[in-house]
Structure 1
Amino acid sequence: MNQVIELVKRKVKKEKPEVSELGFGKYYTDYMFSMDYQEGKGWHNAKITPYEPLSLDPSAMVFHYGQAVFEGLKAYKTKEGKVLLFRPEKNVARMNISCERISIPQVDEKMVLEAIEQLVDLERDWIPDQEGTSLYIRPFIIATEPCLGVRPSREYKFLVILSPVGSYYTDQLKPVKIYVDEEYVRAVPGGTGYVKTAGNYAASLRAQEKAEELGYEQVLWLDGIERKYIEEVGSMNIFFKINGEVVTPQLNGSILGGVTRDSVIQLLQYWGVPVREAQISIDEIYDAYIKGHLEEVFGTGTAAVISPVGELNWKNISMKVNGTGELSARIYETITNIQLGKEKDSFNWIMEI
């Protein structure tokens, strides 16, 4: 796909919000990228245009059968004014994995990276440079063919929108409280749990509401068959430090392979910290807690990077953890320093725009 990306200029620029008002996903930049797919024609009509509402037929298949995938990554601005992306090729590659699972045509990864680079470069003035801030990048694909037949769509729209954001949590390293849900099921092997499709998140919302009603910020999902093996948190992968060793659930076909998760594993291996991927049950975690061996718990994800866990509630048993542990803080500092160009990138994770 050797497409020229057309640029449609905006006549009047938006007023940028104050950094203190950013929050997460509340404001959007002047421009967005889009391209279309039509069976027999392939991906075409690549362009950068002013950010604006979409016009879709009421029978567009995304509304009825849920063919939608998305990704999330960030751009960072250094003190020197450089603009850096963190492992963007991993997100684009994962998007194609998601597309394959729900029968959306593959995108040209090189072309998509180029489009993201051009869009972010055009919007570099929107990237905040205060600590904890960044430009969130949301690529996504939706099925647009007007048809009520149950089959894969023959038409799609790919878009990339940008949003300047503050920290995901108000106090970034303040430990979060997590509710271990045993009532609802997020995913099972053979399903769509390992990809970023919109339906996965719709299925998680009721459990998230329940957790919030009980005073917890996030849900920890157990496996959908035996309801005992730990999978992931609503918006994060999860890690446990037990007796000096770090353990995270192994990818089993129902867990999302997080980019930050992979980065943390690589970093721990580089430091010589024992780390393994394994099937781990909530009973094992409780046993480690009772014996005083559960030293740290933390989540990993693009939005928060590292999120220390201060409490796990399982069957009304409150497992209080040490909160922001030494290892959690070290991982957070190292990854964010690499993202901001403050520390040497020994892993070739950074792409400069």
Structure 2
Amino acid sequence: MALIPLGIIMNGVTGRMGTNQHLIRSILAIRQQGGVKLPNGDVIMPDPILVGRQEHKVKALAAAHGLERWSTDLDGCLADPYNTIYFDSQTTVQRAQGVRKAIAAGKHIYCEKPTAESMEEALELANLAKKAGVKNGVVQDKLFLPGLIKLKRLVDSGFFGRILSIRMEFGYWVFEGDWQPGQRPSWNYRKEDGGGIIVDMFAHWRYVLDNIFAPVRSVSCLGVTHVPERIDENGKPYNCTADDAAYATFELEGGIVAQVNSSWTVRVDRDDLLTIQVDGTEGSAVAGLRDCKSQHRVNTPKPVWNPDIPNPFRFREQWEHVPDNQLFDNGFKIQWEQFLKHVATEDTPFPWDLLEGAKGTQLAELGLQSWRERRWIDLPELTLEK
């Protein structure tokens, strides 16, 4: 058995998502379990170096988790041949610059999405990585949620018959920051800082729809800034220049219609913060983050419209829960393990690359264009340069 150490530059992990999901629940959890075991008995051991612009934050984060490797010198970390992977979870406006530097330094790339501010720049990064011959991947965490794994199980089994439509509801109320602090950072609501729910969430919806159902072919979108002013982390009011809600319709290959509402200005009256209902000729299902329930054609009730009497149906009781049938680990950690195997071996594929990331940015960009021009827009096929 051989131990395979992989030095990982983790840039931007002082933020909420980077700290909790990528550092603590992924990389540190992998280290605590003894690394990632390969079929031949070898073990991959990730060795992170935390990188950030503010020394006190990076140093404190490293100390809190017993890590000795930290730095504010990104160029120096990229120059060190021990570090073979570059990971980026900075804000969107900073990501492309870091990824571009890392590709030039010959590092394998793993990063959050959106991968860039524009589809053109996101595609450029994918082409640069291909030309440099570096392995690359983009976080697609929702594919590894238990509820969506169960939903994919239903799709693959043919449970739905011909899929007709998909309805997705996502969001919750984000406090404005006046009488109660907001639970999302203020930059999310400033377009000039890379904010906006379309830019943030459409990258997710692209890989969810493409990978579980069928490729997205066209989009119609209306964005709204429902709350025009919020209070920032320092207690100062600021104007919201980015959308906080989006109401979109996507047409998928095969004529499937997906209606997707995304909002940070909605109070939740559903089973989860994200629910996906799928209706097909043979059955339907509703998935949340962890659970999934189904209703087959033969078990479908026969409601009759009659507003003159109380509703006699208990609709929520007429669904059957899809069983777990497996143990579910943290989705971010599962994908990290797959990417580490992809880097360390020649026979472990990793389909969620920078080109897939560019597709997410493309959908967000065309969603914004659809809103601006108030029309349907088809999605051109994205391919890498030969």
TM-score of Structure 1 vs Structure 2, range by shorter chain: under 0.3
Indicate the structure whose relative CO is greater, using CA pairs within 8 Å and at least 6 residues apart: 2
Q: TM-score, normalised by structure 1?
A: 0.25
Q: Which has the larger radius of gyration?
A: 2
Q: TM-score, normalised by structure 2?
A: 0.24
Relative to total residues, which structure has the larger helix share, 1 or 2? 2
Relative to total residues, which structure has the larger strand share, 1 or 2? 1
